[in-house]
């Protein structure tokens, strides 16, 4: 287990030694705590419910995950991040025996996963734990969001049709049955000579630098210290902040964050602005720092633009924009309530549709937004109530909205409050996904998607059954989420009509898009609409996007008469579909329905009009 969870970048030799070291440190010490069988604190074998085994398994997972963490400059390193002290093998390299092609393919797929995702895959395949227990074990091992590793592990397909347990038990992944070979003897001799030469050079340079005269100084050719660097001083000077006039956006050639005026009652508080800039450049240990994926850290790149400075919900908040990032600094008005917070988010290539609002306050399950100067009205719309009317949301003179319930922070999904913004040309719907920039919600084919409020009740009904799936996209740097219906299928046995939808979340960084395909069957208890069923998901596929709008998915479905079917649907580009494996069948067109048995598995593929063969989304 430790060998599989450790990062493959360590190399097979160090990975083996680290795995043994992790397990040795996890086993109980001494002879105290004998079990009922008389063993010296050693737990019973895998597969039992012994608390001793679960405890040691948790320690092994925690240390293996810590070994994969990068060393940070200002963080105290953990024991697992260093090379193992014991065991050590001198003059030899050890590695597991080679497996077959299936094992090699699985090892390559596991190497692309994160450490927690590899742990989730191993707990499923090797320990055969259910998902609920896997989340519990990952949470105990220190994984902050145990749902994300399970979703990432879902994308690993077992090669060769073999079970995960059979592949993981092969010699390819057994760090106890090893091969050994000597290291390169000639290279060892060369390294020894190079080390001696390096030591001699260091001694000579040290003697020369210690001599008096006009030689190299203490800092050599380096620039002055950061605090004395003129460019850095300009970036940290509150007097150098860029401030945009209140009407500049009306005559600007582009409409984005760069034309937002400086607003708020504390825009003239130089002490507050100076603290915010200093913390941005050098956040201390008391500062809670967060950044969306793909957001570069570091100080401002020149004098940034001031967007807001004022008090929001018992905190002094400052918003900056440096052309690439939105930065939010917040300090409590009462020093006893904690330290300041610094949040960074990418916001480059923004337009009028994606720069309508910024999160300015979060607390007690609510959020507040700062709206763009061109926004004429704001309202709250419940995504789960497609027939409901939007409720007006008050804004103050600076454009700060009243409190709005954050659905992404709620424990259940009984309501989903989204922010509806109205400007001169359109009404746009945005929602909180746990970041500074709310995500825009759209509807329609990727080449012609539009804002939800203007697409009518059918779009709102589909979004009502999709909204709860947005939780899988939180804190991912999402810029826009589009949902569209790519097929409708008449269900067998007269059970109504199903809608096939694809939801794609685009990110500010351009990579890491998430795709969810779902089927929405008639709700068993109308008019209450049940959420759609996710049938496929991916983080690396261009499907459902402007570059490749084609998509094919399938699901094993049970009718009201308890008969099982394999249903599949593709977008309109598909001319035929085929099911193989556990279920066989084919059809012309983009819809397929084949009788099946419970638990059946089928491989789906389709052909386009030009004969191109495409597999289903995974």
The pLDDT score that the predictor gives to residue 500 is 97
User: Which two structure tokens, joined as six digits, stand for 133?
Assistant: 């227990």
Question: DSSP string of 403-418?
Answer: -EE-GGGSSS-S--EE
Q: How far is CA 380 from the centre of its chain?
A: 27
List phi, psi (to 5°) of 407.
Answer: -70, -30
Q: Which residues fall within 8 angstroms of residue 556, CB to CB, at 6 or more apart? A: 564, 565, 566, 567, 596, 598, 599, 600, 602
**Exposure string (b/e) for 242-263, b if CB count within 10 Å is 16 or more?**
eebeeeebeeeeebbbbbbbbb
Residue from 463, 503, 464 nearest 483 by CA: 503
Report which DSSP code applies to 208: H
The pLDDT score that the predictor gives to residue 360 is 96
Give me the sheet containing 325-332, strands edge to edge: 288-291, 341-346, 325-332, 315-321, 305-311
Give the number of residues written for the chain: 618
Beta strand residue intervals within 195-334, DSSP E: 288-291, 305-311, 315-321, 325-332
Q: How far is CA 524 from the centre of its chain?
A: 33
SS (H, E, C) 305-335: EEEEEEECCCEEEEEEECCCEEEEEEEECCH
The CA distance from 6 to 11, in Å, is 10
The CA distance from 513 to 495, in Å, is 34
Residue pair 531/469 in contact (Cβ under 8 Å)? The answer is yes
* SS3 assignment, position 84: coil
Question: DSSP string of 425-463?
Answer: S-EEEEE--SSSSPEEEEES-TTS-EEGGGG-HHHHHHH
Burial of 437 (0-12, 13-18, 19+ CB in 10 A): buried
The pLDDT score that the predictor gives to residue 527 is 57
Residue with tokens 């050599």: 220
Residues of the chain with pLDDT under 50: 33-48, 211-223
* SS3 assignment, position 354: coil
How many helices, marked H, and strands, marked E, lie in the chain?
Answer: 12, 27
Four-point Cα dihedral 246, 249, 255, 257, nearest 10: -20
SS (H, E, C) 24-35: HHHCCCCCCCCC
The CA distance from 317 to 278, in Å, is 14
What value, to the nearest 5°, has the Cα angle with vertex 337 and ends 395 and 326?
Answer: 50
Residue with tokens 């049970």: 558
Upstream peptide bond of 391 is cis (omega within 30 degrees of 0): no
Residues facing 536 on adjacent strands? 517
Break the chain into its structural domains and give their ranges. Answer: 2-33+43-181, 232-404, 442-615
């Amino acid at each position: 287990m430790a060998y599989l969870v450790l990062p493959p970048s360590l190399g097979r030799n160090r990975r083996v030694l680290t795995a043994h070291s992790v397990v040795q440190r996890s086993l109980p010490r001494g002879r105290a705590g004998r079990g009922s069988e008389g063993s010296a604190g050693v737990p019973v074998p895998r597969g039992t419910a012994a608390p001793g085994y679960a405890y040691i398994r948790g320690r092994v997972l925690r240390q293996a995950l810590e070994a994969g963490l990068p060393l940070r400059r200002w963080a105290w390193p953990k024991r697992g991040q260093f090379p193992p002290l014991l065991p050590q093998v001198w003059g030899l390299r050890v590695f597991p025996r080679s497996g077959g092609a299936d094992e090699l393919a699985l090892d390559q797929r596991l190497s692309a996963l994160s450490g927690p995702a590899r742990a989730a895959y191993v707990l499923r395949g090797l320990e055969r734990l259910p998902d609920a227990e896997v989340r519990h074990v990952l949470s105990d091992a220190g994984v902050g969001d145990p749902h994300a590793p399970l979703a990432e592990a879902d994308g690993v397909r077992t090669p060769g049709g073999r079970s995960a347990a059979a592949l993981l038990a092969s010699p390819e992944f057994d760090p106890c049955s090893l091969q050994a070979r000597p290291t390169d003897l000639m290279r060892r001799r060369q390294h020894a000579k190079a080390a001696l030469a390096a030591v001699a050079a260091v001694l000579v340079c040290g003697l020369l630098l210690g001599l008096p005269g006009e030689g190299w100084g203490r800092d050599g050719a380096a620039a002055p210290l950061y605090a004395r660097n003129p460019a850095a001083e300009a970036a940290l000077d509150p007097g150098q902040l860029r401030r945009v006039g209140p009407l500049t956006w009306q005559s600007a050639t582009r409409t984005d964050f760069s034309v937002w005026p400086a607003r708020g009652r504390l825009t003239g508080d130089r002490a507050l602005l100076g603290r915010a800039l200093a913390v941005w450049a050098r956040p201390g240990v008391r500062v809670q720092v967060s950044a969306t994926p793909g957001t570069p850290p570091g100080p401002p790149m020149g004098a940034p633009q001031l967007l807001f400075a004022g008090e929001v919900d018992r905190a002094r908040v400052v918003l900056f924009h440096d052309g690439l990032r939105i930065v939010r600094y917040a300090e409590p008005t009462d020093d006893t309530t904690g330290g300041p917070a610094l949040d960074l988010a990418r916001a480059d290539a923004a337009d009028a549709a994606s720069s309508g609002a910024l999160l300015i306050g979060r607390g007690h399950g609510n959020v507040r937004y700062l709206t763009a100067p061109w926004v004429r009205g704001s309202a709250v719309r419940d995504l789960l109530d497609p027939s409901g009317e939007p409720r007006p949301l008050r804004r103050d003179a600076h454009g700060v909205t009243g409190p709005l319930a954050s659905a992404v922070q709620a424990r259940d999904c009984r309501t989903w409050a989204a922010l509806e913004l109205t400007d001169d040309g359109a009404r746009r719907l945005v929602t909180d996904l746990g970041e500074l920039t709310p995500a825009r919600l759209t509807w329609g084919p990727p080449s012609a998607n539009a804002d939800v409020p203007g697409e009518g009740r059918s779009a709102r009904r589909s979004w009502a059954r999709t909204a709860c799936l947005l939780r899988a996209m939180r804190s991912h740097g999402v810029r826009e989420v589009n949902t569209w219906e790519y097929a409708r299928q008449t269900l067998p046995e007269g059970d109504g009509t199903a809608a096939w939808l694809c939801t794609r979340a685009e990110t500010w960084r351009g990579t890491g898009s998430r795709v969810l395909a779902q089927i929405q069957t008639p709700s068993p208890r109308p008019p209450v609409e049940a959420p759609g069923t996710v049938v496929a998901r991916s983080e690396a596929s261009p499907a459902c996007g402007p570059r490749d709008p084609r998509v094919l998915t399938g699901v094993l479905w049970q009718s009201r008469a308890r008969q099982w079917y394999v249903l599949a649907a593709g977008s309109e580009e598909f001319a035929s579909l085929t099911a193989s494996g556990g279920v066989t069948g084919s059809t012309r067109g983009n819809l397929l329905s084949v009788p099946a048995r419970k638990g059946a598995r089928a491989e789906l593929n389709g052909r386009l009009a030009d004969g191109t063969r495409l597999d289903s989304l995974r």
